[in-house]
Chains A and B, each alone.
Chain A
Amino acid sequence: MTLLLVVLIPFMGALLPPLVIRSGRNTCAVATGGVTLLALALLMSHAPAVFSGEVPKAGVDWVPAMGLSLSVFADGLGFFFAAMILVIGLLVIVYARFYLSREDPMGRFFAYLLLFQGSMVGVVLSDNVILLLVFWEMTSLTSFLLIGFWTKRADARQGARMALVITGGGGLALIAGLLLLAQAAGSYQLTEILSRGEMVRASPLYLPALLLVLAGAFTKSAQFPFHFWLPHAMAAPTPVSAYLHSATMVKAGVFLLARLWPVLAGTEAWFLIIAPAGLVTMLIGAAIALFRNDLKGLLAYSTVSHLGLMTMLLGLGTPMAAVAAVFHVINHATFKAALFMSAGIVDHEAGTRDIRRLGGLMVLMPVTGTLALLAAASMAGVPLFNGFLSKEMMLEEAAHTSYLGLDLLFPVLATVAAVFSVAYSARFAIGTFLGPVRGDYPHHPHDPPLGMWLPVAVLVVPVIAIGLFPGPVAGPLVALTAAAVIGGPLPDYHLALWHGITPALVMSLVAFAGAAALILAFRRADALRARLPRIDAKAMFEASTGMFVVGCRRSLVALHDGALARYMGVTVATLIAVGGYGFWSATHGAGTRPPLPVTATALTAFLALVLASGGVLAFHGERLTALILTGVVGVVVALAFLQFSAPDLALTQISVDVVTTILMLLALNLLPKATPREQSLAVRWRDGTVAGLAGLGVAGLAYAVMTRNGTSISEYYLTQSKPGGGGTNVVNVILVDFRGYDTFAEIIVLGIAALAIYALLDPALKGAAVRRIKAMLPRTESRDAHPLLLVVATRVLLPLSLVVGAYIFLRGHNEPGGGFIAGLVVAIALIMQYIASGYGWAAERMKVDAQSMIGAGVAIAGLTGIAAFAFGRPFLTSTFGYLHSPVVGTFELASAMAFDLGVFLTVVGVMLLSLAQLSRVAHRVDPSPESREPMDVQLERTVPRTAGGES
């Protein structure tokens, strides 16, 4: 359980610094250090066990159902990394105490630092892959907080953002990778996964998992092609750079490769991808580092290069290379952290980090200078320092590596990288500390307080100790860690200063010679570099993301341009595509039902329908023409109903068509006469194609259904209509009885629709709307608006129509007809009166209010339904039982008819209400006095039209 506390203590301790900062900066630093020390002590309590080969574990269940557990384990690798993180963390805390100025919010800084530390320890100790992922991304988040600490600086912001985008994105890829890995291994516990390497490597998921894991590891450890973010993150305060960007966070990627080495390494893909990526990173990093003038920039690229070195070693996949990688992790952590801190001291004291403005500091700050030179020597790989040893091992491995048949590729490029590596180390040392003292430093440099150089000194001790006595000092640790990485027997190696004349030694000597030449000819090399085309990876990143953004905006965002037609087009086109796919990929055929014979009449009607529909399409811009053609369609449809023995439907269709056409005509009078054309020809063709294909699809489906014999419910209605509903007109019985509930709801909807028309036309009665409509009205109008012939004809027809309406209503239950049709017929007759003699004249004589009529209709229908309750039957269904009752048999017709009367009244009311409101609008825009006479044939109407539209 104490192992779990090692992870949790930094998180809990993160609350401490902000709380104690009021007691002073020293207290704050001591508290932070204390927390780290406590975690370190707890970790060390496991040291004997770890060194004796045990693997301490601890954990509690978190969400077992999801495979999540809060479990940690400390094998050699995890133990080593955790120890490294905590020790360097301790040194950084001491250093930061003196580095941060009085104005910096130290409490917050230390809190973030502890959060980061906890996340980092969590990464290296996690036993559960999901837990590892959680900590992995938390390192990104907390590093973001730390990098963003100096938010006032523009470069810090950019660096932080890029770091976050790249590592955060890589982390998400890692999620997928580890999930696939866990699936392949059948467990979420790393300890289990590590023992199932064979199984994973044989799995088809191996390659995708590997690629995704590498995306995570490479972004985190700044490997080519993601190497560019790290140097730009260096704008962060130096303690952060030292801690995150050299010693710990950037090693997380390397750690992950090492952690998963037993599972993933040893395949061709592993070697072919990782080894060259590491090699290229090593080379590019070293080459760029040489020409950096900013101390931290130089060190940053050097770090990139060294990370490449470690990655390459792990990528080689041999146990020997893995040992070398582990050894180099140890060595690099010591000398690079020391160098970063030294660079920070120089920056702090001299006031600049520009190598061109420095030099000769050895005299002014001897302690710092000495320590930095020692660390730099190790970085260069000078013998007697630890950097030399692991670099030799690397060169030795590279010398024996053949890549895709190229025997020289690795040795040569590794040597070139070593040349650059020595050269930049020398440039760092010479440019900063050696040479003559200058008089133009921004500040007056002198050695810093003990607290700042002591951490550096502590780090330089192992640099020398390991360099001199590698076996005794680092041997056990290397053996322990390497054993955990390899997961099997260690190869035969020994850490020693002198191995005899080996290829590696030769390569080292070449490197030193080359570096010396390079330093001597630095000016010329720099000039040469300046003339070469600059490849700025950051600018490329920015440019490519910029292009990406613009590309997204141009394509996808432009797709959503707000055009409704396009949106509908996409929707319909998708369905056509899916339908088409379904059609071609499935077996299908026409049904077996024989088609009906084609008569000449039917064919004529069909052609009329097609022509009229086509005409609507062609002339839809001219609204009156379109309306007339729609009427033709309606008539043909009514004829079709008649042809298929559905006289009720035909009657309904024709009367609905007449009423709507009349109302539409009245409405059209108040609208523009033509639809403006807004779309280009191409768009219309596109829409036409989509619509045509959709029509074909629907027609095909209809054909497929209609040519098949299916069972239909109509038989039930035909047989039950008379005994069940008491009528022989099935359609009417369905309307008023079987589905009376529907009809009831429908007339309510109809009434609401009329009220909505009323309400929607209301705004057209005033203000801007009236002016707009006036502008659209035709300037000339018929002189004979209420022609004599029409008036006479409608007067004669009115009683006739009412009688026909009553007749249709009464016969409805047994013959074609019913309340709905009757209502429409009566409505037509009444509307004709209005048209013939004008609204004013007709309204005077129409004593019944349309709204009341709708209300009465709905109320009557509803009451008929409720009346059923009196007979102990549910709402409306009672009609059924009611009719069966022999006692009240005489009422059977009356009940259904009462309901039908409700329908009738509602329909008439709806039509009249719509008409009334349309007339009101027409009257409002045409202020000529309403005629009180039934017709205007006797008086010459010469009222000049003043309202011509000038408004």
Chain B
Amino acid sequence: MTQLLPPIGAVLPELVLAISAIVLILIGAVRGEGSANLVTGLAIAVLAAVGVLVLLQPAVEVTAFNGSLVVDAYSRFMKLLAVLGAVVSLIMAVDWQAREKQAKFEYAVLVVIATLGMCMLISAGDLIALYLGLELMSLSLYVVAAINRDSIRSTEAGLKYFVLGALSSGMLLYGASFIYGFTGSVNFLQIAAVAKEPSFGLIFGIVFLLAGLCFKVSAVPFHMWTPDVYEGAPTPVTAFFASAPKVAAMAIFVRVVIEAFPHVTHQWQQIVAFVSLASMVLGAFAAIGQRNIKRLLAYSSIGHMGFALVGLAAGTPEGVRGVLLYMSIYVVMTLGTFACVLTMRRKGQAVETIEDLSGLARRNPVMALALGALMFSLAGIPPLAGFLAKYYVFVAAIQAGLYGLAVVGVLASVVGAFYYLRVVKIMYFDEPVDDFDPMPTELKAVLAVSGLFTIFYFVYPAPLIEAAGAAARSLF
């Protein structure tokens, strides 16, 4: 049966985003260059409102557009997380844009459009909706990576991301067409109903599809763009890249393998386990030699995606719950870390090397403490939130019998601890260098919330775990 109009409530967040994006473009176009602050402010308000709308959606599973979009507990959880990442990274961009004289209203609009793409992606119930959401998100990201047109690094980052992104989209489409060809459907649930046997063509399709998705979550060996783009893009953009799109891409990654291929679990499990392993190891080892903090965080994010994928490799509800928890904690930690990176400005100039943090503990003890806690947490040291994140995925992997993966993961985190602790060492034990410029209030707030969450999450983790558990169960 053909549905002409979807249930409005189910797609309300997306509708609000789409309409707002158009309105914001018009405001920006009519009011011209000086409208950046107004548009950014409105965009923040819109994103916050969308977050509330997602939160208010009733806890039932609704499908729209003949199953193309699915609104369930899982999509609500991930959307909330993606919107959180988007809104916080946009807030963090305000002061930076003003200082760099890079106030452009287009940035906020593109973030809103990218968020729309993410919401569609997270809710996608078939391969076509997946592709549409993915491209809407990616195209916006290509542009924001190069938003600082006068910087060679920024434009180069955008170009590289675009070329490689186009390649990966091509692979994804190739895979999707294989899957369609061998199952006769694009809808995840219908694919699952047909794909009971691992046929050669189906496996090929899955490989190509997952290759495209791996690119988006920057999993090895499709991660090559990450360091260059993280380093080249303006820092608030990098903060955005590191948070919201990762959530959305991981969300669809999980949804597509769990919902569409439950009968060929063994096959995709091998792929996921491999990229997870490779990401953890490469992320840990490659980060060691880095001096630029943005590049360091790029490799760190590659590693973290590997850890999150450990949960997916388990292929169980517990594993998916682990992925959700990992992504939640990861987003909070990342945003807090980038609040610090954005503060790294000296006499109006942004500085990016790790050595610029030297002796921070004596210059700004509170920031050093918060960043130190985040680093310990990223390293996965108990009892900080990052430890529990790793714990959730590793337990799931062990329960699923993936002992090797869990052990290699832990060993990779040992190597990873080496470079996170190096940052701590530099902050606490090296001779202080000049002070940073004063930290804007909104960055202070982000850092404070992130730091406190990281330190005290272990006291009362139950609500998040329950929400993630409910979200994970809605996929099975």
Contact = CB atoms under 8 A, between A and B. Distances in A.
Interface of A: 63, 65-67, 130, 133-138, 140-141, 148, 151, 157-158, 160-161, 164-165, 168-169, 171-173, 175-176, 179-180, 183, 205, 208, 212, 545, 548-550, 552-553, 556-557, 559-560, 562, 564, 566-568, 570-572, 574-575, 578-579, 582, 586-588, 701, 705, 710, 874
Contacts of B428: 148, 151, 157
Contact of A173 (B211, B227, B410, B424): B410
A338 to B, nearest CB: 31
Interface in B263-309: 271, 282, 285-286, 288-290
B410 A136 contact: no
B154 to A, nearest CB: 14
Nearest to A545: B418
Interface string B418-435: 100100110011100000
Contact of B382 (A133, A164, A545, A701): A133
A173 B414 contact: yes
B286 A560 contact: yes
A138 B225 contact: no
Contacts of A550: 289
Nearest to A574: B221
A593 to B, nearest CB: 15
Contacts of A135: 382
Nearest to A588: B200
A136 B409 CA distance: 19
Contacts of A205: 403
Interface string B390-411: 1110110011000100110111
Return the 4 tightest CB-CB contacts between A and B, nearest first: A553-B289, A157-B429, A176-B410, A567-B224
17 contacts: A134-B387, A165-B418, A169-B414, A172-B413, A172-B414, A175-B387, A176-B406, A179-B395, A183-B399, A208-B403, A556-B289, A560-B286, A566-B224, A574-B222, A701-B204, A710-B181, A874-B4
B357 interface: no
Contact of A575 (B207, B381, B461): B207
Nearest to A569: B224
Contacts of B181: 705, 710
Contacts of B458: 134
B30 interface: no
Contacts of B392: 66
B469 A548 contact: no
Given A161-B425, A165-B418, A568-B163, A579 B204 contact: yes
B352 interface: no
Nearest to B232: A562
B323 to A, nearest CB: 15
A130 B221 CA distance: 33
Contacts of B12: none
B285 A556 contact: yes
A137 B377 CA distance: 12
A467 to B, nearest CB: 40
B383 A173 contact: no
B379 interface: yes
Contact of B285 (A160, A552, A570): A552
Contacts of A578: 207, 211, 271
B21 to A, nearest CB: 16
Nearest to A578: B207
A874 B288 CA distance: 59
A837 B380 CA distance: 72
Contacts of A579: 204, 207
Nearest to B390: A175
B355 interface: no
Given A571-B221, A586-B200, A560 B414 contact: no
A180 B410 CA distance: 12
B411 A567 contact: no
A568 B381 contact: no
A549 B383 CA distance: 28
B96 interface: no
A677 B288 CA distance: 34
Given A161-B429, A205-B403, A579-B207, 20 more contacts: A63-B461, A134-B383, A151-B429, A164-B421, A168-B417, A169-B417, A169-B418, A171-B381, A175-B390, A179-B394, A180-B398, A180-B407, A212-B407, A545-B418, A553-B288, A556-B289, A566-B224, A571-B167, A571-B215, A571-B222
Nearest to A170: B414
A679 B442 CA distance: 47
B145 to A, nearest CB: 14
Contacts of A548: 288
B216 interface: no
Contacts of B409: 176
A180 B382 contact: no
Interface string B189-233: 000000000001001100110010001000001101101100000
Contacts of B222: 571, 574
Nearest to B361: A151
Interface of B: 4, 160, 163-164, 167-168, 171, 181, 200, 203-204, 207-208, 211, 215, 221-222, 224-225, 227-228, 271, 282, 285-286, 288-290, 361, 376, 379-383, 387, 390-392, 394-395, 398-399, 403, 406-407, 409-411, 413-414, 417-418, 421, 424-425, 428-430, 458, 461-462, 465-466, 469
A701 B410 CA distance: 39
Contacts of A158: 429
Nearest to B383: A134
B395 A66 contact: yes
B421 to A, nearest CB: 6
A828 to B, nearest CB: 29
A582 B285 contact: no
Contacts of A183: 398-399, 403
A557 B287 CA distance: 8
B56 to A, nearest CB: 26
A705 B168 CA distance: 22
A900 to B, nearest CB: 26
Contact of A176 (B171, B361, B407, B421): B407
A137 B383 contact: yes
Given A175-B410, A574-B211, A66 B171 contact: no
Contacts of B215: 571
B417 to A, nearest CB: 5
A212 B462 contact: no
A773 to B, nearest CB: 19
A714 to B, nearest CB: 14
Nearest to B208: A575
A158 B426 CA distance: 11
Of A161, A566, A588, the most chain B CB neighbours within 10 A belong to A161
Given A180-B398, A560-B227, A575 B382 contact: no
Contact of A179 (B380, B406, B430): B406
Given A183-B399, A586-B200, A588-B200, A567 B382 contact: no
A130 B391 contact: yes
A574 B228 CA distance: 20
Contacts of B417: 165, 168-169, 172
Contacts of A557: 286, 289-290
A215 to B, nearest CB: 9
A571 B207 contact: no
A703 B260 CA distance: 27
Nearest to A133: B382
A791 B378 CA distance: 72
Contact of A582 (B204, B224, B380, B406): B204
A151 B428 CA distance: 8
B383 A138 contact: yes
A138 B418 contact: no
Contacts of B465: 63, 65-66
A560 B228 contact: yes
Contact of A138 (B207, B221, B228, B382): B382
B421 A161 contact: yes
Contacts of B204: 579, 582, 701
B230 to A, nearest CB: 11
